[in-house]
Amino acid sequence: MAESPANRKSTAPGSSAAEEIDEHVEGIGGWRGDVLARMRQLIRQALPDVVEEVKWRKPTNPAGVAVWSLDGMICTGETYKDKIKLTFAKGASLDDPARLFNASLEGNTRRAIDIREGETVDEKAFKALVKEAAALNGAKRQR
């Protein structure tokens, strides 16, 4: 089955997705850059084998969207004027005892964590959520 253009890995020629994400985080700067860098670090600590990609480039967002995957998509990291949004592709299927999910709660599949200036996220709970998302992907792949 052919991959749709919107889903293709779209890293610029000559650079890796990790390098592009590094540049994006640096370019954002300020509290949003700090938050996205920290959440990225936590994802990589939780899943050392995670694959970083940049997808969904468009004229209004030439940097694209950071995506972390392992046996399928774990989450995306998007930057908005007033927040950083981490959207978990299968978030509705994950246990969230720390109630980290605070956005996109009405959907049947995705869930998101919006982080605004000055807010913090329970790092231990976030890493557990990332690991659970990867485990769910791995379980579905083994079927």
Going through the chain in order, the beta strands assigned E by DSSP cover 51-55, 65-69, 73-79, 84-88, 111-115
* Per-residue pLDDT at 143 exceeds 90: no
Residues 2-61 have pLDDT tens digits of 333 333 344 444 458 888 888 888 888 899 999 999 999 999 999 999 999 988 888 888
Domain 15-142 has CATH 3.40.50.620: no
Considering the entire predicted model, what is its pTM?
0.84
Taken as a whole, the chain contains a residue count of: 143
* Per-residue pLDDT at 135 exceeds 90: yes
**What does the DSSP 8-state code read for residue 48?**
T
Classified as helix, coil or strand, 61 is strand
